[in-house]
Structure 1
């Protein structure tokens, strides 16, 4: 992966949901541990799917992680949690503010290997910041693909469904009273509604 030097670096693992980003991160962390390197992992407080103090993959793998608030202060606190670890892993980077880029740069400048994972697109198919900025400054980038749930082709986009239908472009992050789900889809099967939005209070059930 990297020549043995005294410098640090940043690795970004990205792609759509269900593409195996966190599983790939965990694979790298396991290899680092086997090599005798100490690892510190971090996950955002907003993501509690795998427990409050662990990051996990859809395949069921987990790793103990320190949970930090997905705020500027939370991101800035990451270096304070370190105790000499050579490898720093940050999962779900898309949930953190832009200050994460500066923190990753500072950690790499301090000689650490920084492994970051996160989806690079919103459900609208637009850049999901700050992942694109991390891609720009990283030494290594790997973009993974999932399988489209509609046609079986390689998937690169996140399909948001609200009450079983493609989400509207103007839908808020959470649609109150609605059932929400996500799928991986290819470019051709990805849908974002742009018709007149339906008020959440009158949305049909």
Structure 2
């Protein structure tokens, strides 16, 4: 079975489409680089906990810094999360246009009668800001962002997908998730839904295949096309 056949099969069986945000819809840190944000958050952490900050400075992933902050101290985690949310909102304002093919995929999902939710480890605030500024609100029924104060419930935990399915009044097994990271594939499988790996960087297709993604594509336009025929 070809990649296109797999994509058609997965989408034909999906009544609700979950889109991860960073990647499939928006390159969140295209204008404000993630390593810069991670360093800013680590500096905030350093003013309160030098041991945790030393760990944080070793990563260029803002989400990982958030995990480290919460592991160190609940109140410190909250402060870092507020700063991360503010940085994400700032980042999407300078992130540029939606991912190529994303708007077409959202439109195709709606035209096919399928509902759409965005399920993200980024804050709901930044997703909603981007959706509003690019006029995508008509295509998206729900936005499920990072569980505030509970980073352990982010993907790969299935909690966000199960929550999204409940909010959409849909059995999670009738949904599929389009995501560009292994955590998306893992969360989808843990929730009992199918996963479409968006391989937007070299080697991701191989990684997604190893993780047993149900379908893999390197172009969101392929999703749009498949949704019109599935």
> Which structure shows the bigger proportion of residues in strand conformation?
1
TM-score (norm 2): 0.37
TM-score (norm 1): 0.40
> Which structure shows the bigger proportion of residues in helix conformation?
2
